[in-house]
Structure formats: C-alpha cells, structure tokens
Chains A and B, each alone.
Chain A
Amino acid sequence: MIASESDPAGADRRVQPAAGILEVRDLHKDFGGVHALAGASFYVEQGTITGLIGPNGAGKSTLINLVSGFTPPGSGQVVYDGEDITGHSAHQIARLGLVRTFQLSSEFARLTVIENLLTAVPDQRGSTVLAALRGKRYWRRAEEESVARAREFLGRFGLTDVEDLYGAELSGGQKRLLEISRALMGRPRVLLLDEPFAGVNPTLAREVEDILRALRDEGMTIVLVEHEMGAIDRLCDTVVVMAAGTVLAEGSMAEIRENQEVVDAYLAG
C-alpha cells in the first residue's frame, strides 16, 4: 500500500492517491476493551452503491461514525476525494459533501417536515446572525428557492401531504424517508446510510431502492448498512463484509456468495 517514496514520519503530509472517492485505511477503534474496529480497510468508487454487511457488533456503525467524524479514530486514515479527513469535525465533513444518516431515527421532532429539509441547505441565506438581522427582504428569495427544491424532494419521497406535520408526528417509515431526503438537501456527493430500511414497510422500501438507484445513476456515491440481503443484492455494486472489526471480504454479491469464509461467518448464520 505504501508508495515507493520515503516516508519520514510527519514530513510528507501528502495523501496517497485514493483508489476511489472514499477510502478507509486500517481503521482501529477500541471502546475500553472492545475492539470495535481492528484494522478495517476498503475503498468506494464514485457513482456506486456499496453495501456494508456483517453480524451485529461487527463494527459497521462504528465505521460510519468514524468516517463521518462523530467518533475520533484510534488509528488509521479516512481519505475522501483525495483529502485526508481523519479527525475532521462532523460538521466540516458534512460540508465537504460526505453526509450520513443514523441507525436510530433522528428527525427534528418539533420542526415541520419541510423545515427539517430546509435546515440542511448549506449556506442558506439568512442563516447567519448578521444576515438574519437584515430581515426577510434579504433572505426571502433564497428561501423560496429552497422551499421549491425541498418540495421536489418531498414529492420524490411521497412526503408532500405531510409537509406541515412535525417530525414527531410521522410514522417510523416516514421518518426514515425524511432523514434521507433531508440529507439530500445538502447536495452530498457521498451518502452514508445506516440501516435506511429499518422500520420501512417493504413496498415503500422498494420505492426507496429505486430512488437510491436513480441517485447513483446521477453520479452520487452511496454506502449503506443493511441486514436484508435481498435489498443488498438488488442495490449494491459492491459488498463489504465485516466481522469483528475487520473486513472479511469485498466484491460483487456473486463473488461474496462464493466465498466460503463469508458464508460460514455470516450468510449461513
């Protein structure tokens, strides 16, 4: 992995070119005595959907938390679009276009559905103190544009009729949809979805799959954690199998199925 040039510690801050838009290199993370991540490495190519699978406790959520800046890494590197983002704060990473959702729904309960989406618009006019003090005239035009764009997403996710409901008033499935559409409002380049189909009914889940595929075809990169193998099979270009904090195997679903080690460790169980 290490490039041929000499590497005196700390002297060369340049990052080795990444193989894809996102690359994770030898990530380690301990929680007390638990090795949640024990040297996980893989890369993600732009414009693909990557599935992250593995038994409970394999370290999938920890990995997402590290990549998105919510958990400081023990050691290792996260390279996004050629830049080493290890240790960047979560909001910085999001602003770079790497946006994540959570395993547990995290809608803004006392904001309406459309407000939830509007919150995610980067640099929305009127979202600094000084701009706010300039009054509605200053930000109203930009607000209208964002409202229109938010409504497009609401339409796409079937949330048009609940635009004015509070986040707390949605069903479990609607909350997942809200979260994905909210993440999209920030125009991310890479979307990290932690169990996006949990609690979503199968019909709706299929519709969301279609949306995710369409987003990929528009050039977005998606990494998702999912337990339902049917969805993984239908959606993912690449599958990364994790177990005990490391990557067990990486490849297309067909390749993964032929990997006896994986079948023993996970698929059969």
Chain B
Amino acid sequence: MTTAWQFYFITLLTYSGVNIIAAWALNLQYGLGGILNFAFIIFQAVGAYAAAVLTLGPAGGITTFQTYVGGAHLPWLLALVVATLAGGVLALLVGLVALRPKRTDYQGMVLLTVAIIAAVVVTDEKGWLNGASGLVGVPKPFNESLGLGLIEYGWFYVGVVAVAVVLVFIVIHLLTSSPWCRQVRAMREDPVAAEALGLNVPARRLQVFVIGGAIAAFSGALLVGYIGSWSPGAWGPGETFLLFVCIVVGGLGNNFGAAVGSVLVLTVLFNGLAYLPIFSYTTAAEALQLVLLGLIVIAFLWFKPRGLFPERRRRFAFPSAGPDRGTAVAVEEAR
C-alpha cells in the first residue's frame, strides 16, 4: 500500500472510532433517553479544547501566535480524563438550564440556541481559545516517547482509538442493558407516567445528559489528539445534525445500529469521499453529499423510520427447572 493510501485508512479508521463513540453517546441521550440534544457537538468540542490546552502548555511560550486559557503540560492520559470530566461538568451546567422545560421539543430549542451562542462566543472571544483560527500544534499523544515515523504512529493511534472504542462500549453496554436504562426508556416514552411511578424524571434526564456529555467530550479529546488542531469550524451545529442522521439511519435505541449508522453515513459517505487520495474534493462534491444526505434522511423517515437496526425487543426467559439455574434476565431479540 502506498503511503497515501495507508494515510487514508488511518484517517478513516480514527474518525470512525471517534464517530462511533459520539454516536453511542447521542444514542444514549436521544435514542434511549429522548433528549433532543441539538447542542451535542459542543460537548465534543469542549473535550477537544480541554485536551488541547492541557497538553499544549502555557500560552505564550513557543506558541506565541495563539492565545488561550488554561494551558498546561499534562500527560495525555490525565488530560483525557480531565477533558472527559469537563464534558460532564458542562453538561451538568447546560442541563440544569436547558432541561428545565417539561417538553422535550422546547428543550431541543434551548439546546440549539446554546450551541449557536457557544460557537459565536468562542469565535469572538479570541483570548479564550484563539477565536476563529482555533488551536494548532496540539502534541500527538505519546509521540515523543515513541519516536515512530508518521505512518507507524498513525497505525499506533488507530490502536489507541480501538482501545477507547472498546472501553466506551463496555460502559455503554453495562448502562444500556441495565434496569437503569429501562427506566430511562420509560422516561422517553412518557415522562409524566414515569414520574407517577416514583421516578425522579428531571434527575434521571440530567444523569443521561451528563453521561452523554462526558462521552462526547472523550470522543473530542481523541479526535484532537489525531488532527492536532481544533477550531469553531469543526463544531458547527451541522455536525450535530450529521450524528442525528447516523443514529436515525442505524436505528434509534440500538447501540449496534448507532455504530453501523455512523460508519455508513460519516465514514463511507462523508470522510470516505472527502479524504480519498485519488481525486480532488471540490465544493460541488460536498454540495452533492449534502443533497444525498438529505435524501437519505427523508427516505429513512418515510420507509424505515426505526432505522436499519431498530431497538430490540427484550424478552425475559422463564426460570429453568434446575434449582440454581433460574435466569429470568432479559435476552435481546436479534432482528
């Protein structure tokens, strides 16, 4: 394989991993929790910015050409943890305000507004995160200690992302197969009835929102480690829309579906074409992609509203005869 093609696959795989993680987080919030998080991308962004400034070092050193707050030289893993927590904290603050309306569509409108305001503020306040130009020169995780060539390092980072995907999957799987998630789905279906059964719906929504926000930030931190730069152009409200398309196509409420949807929509349709090393990607091609995307959304909403892999029906086994083998735990029906 030529270097260009290797680089192409490294990029695709890294982006895929990041997008799968993000799609799982949004699926938890919207597919399972019913929260219309139209501000999703700002949580990925806060993770990316946090990981960037925490590894770039104090502003004004070698990077006098960019200004930002909170610069530090943290080890990457620590920066990753702090970035993830930052996403959770931001989600808590935003959620306390945006999730106040009882109706989820109102919540969605507030969240969209938050996303737009955040983009404007970060762009205009150049002292915070270097405004529209964004941050560049973010150190590559472990790069100095490894001393690998560009391509070798790329494959190494694919491995890092793969480990991250597995870790997030474990967390997501534990959460979504639990009684906790059953109550989350109940809240999605009918928050008023859930409340009548003794469920603290606002608190539960906030939990879902914070967990999703933290995972989104984690994905952002992984992403910035690969691309090395981050600016408002990377996190417009349209990016959130793309992730919604992923989970609608893949199947709301289904983790496997969310992963497949993000690979089909973002990896194949978007990045797959955008980074292809054999022809130059033009604005016309980009416009065509968007048209295609719109058609896909309409087609799915029309013909397959539950997506390729709909939420699974959970069945409960009957206790078997043996005295110690009673297993009435939900088995997901494969469909």
Q: Please tell me if B185 contacts chain A, counting CB pairs below 8 Å.
A: yes
Q: How far is the CB of B88 from chain A (nearest CB, A)?
A: 12
Task: Kindly specify which of B76-84, B120-128, B137-145, B199-207 makes contact with the partner chain.
Answer: B199-207
Which residues in chain A, 159-216, are within 8 Å of chain B measured between CB atoms? Answer: 163-164, 166-167, 182-183, 186
**Please, which residues of chain B bring their CB within 8 A of the CB of A109?**
189-190
How many of chain B's residues have a CB under 8 angstroms from any CB in A? Answer: 39
Contact of B196 among A99, A128, A132, A148 (CB under 8 A): A99
Closest Cβ of chain B to A5, distance in Å, is 35
- Minimum C-beta distance from A181 to chain B (A): 12
B299 at interface by CB-CB < 8 Å = no
Contact with B along A112-127 (1 / 0, CB 8 A): 1011101110101111
Q: Is the CB of B198 within 8 A of A126?
A: no
Q: Interface size (A, Cβ < 8 Å)?
A: 50
With known contacts A70-B192, A108-B185, A110-B185, A139–B197 Cβ distance under 8 A: no
Residue of B nearest to A148 (CB): B328
Q: A91-B201, A112-B314, A182-B197 are in contact. Are A131 and B180 (CB under 8 A)?
A: yes
- Given A120-B198, A164-B315: A147 and B182 within 8 A (CB)? no
Name 14 A/B residue pairs within 8 A (Cβ), A-sorted.
Answer: A91-B199, A91-B201, A99-B198, A108-B185, A108-B186, A109-B189, A125-B179, A126-B179, A132-B178, A133-B171, A135-B174, A139-B178, A164-B315, A186-B197
Residues of A within 8 A of B179 (CB): 118, 124-127, 132, 139, 143
Which chain A positions have C-beta within 8 A of B183? 119, 127
Chain B residues near A (Cβ < 8 Å): 171, 174-175, 177-183, 185-186, 188-190, 192-201, 207, 211, 253, 311, 313-316, 319, 326-330
Cβ–Cβ < 8 Å partners of A94 in chain B: 195-198
A94 to B314: give the CA distance in the assembly, Å: 26
Q: Is the CB of B196 within 8 A of A102?
A: yes
A95 to B190, CA, bound (A): 18
Q: Is A257 an interface residue (CB 8 A)?
A: no
CA distance A119 to B182 in the complex (A): 7
Contacts of B315 in A (CB 8 A): 112, 164
Q: Does residue A60 face the partner (Cβ distance < 8 Å to B)?
A: no
On whether the beta carbons of A129 and B211 are closer than 8 Å, the reply is yes
| A234 CB–B CB distance under 8 Å | no
CB distance from B31 to the nearest CB of A (A): 11
A28 proximal to B (CB < 8 A) = no
A107 to B186, CA, bound (A): 9
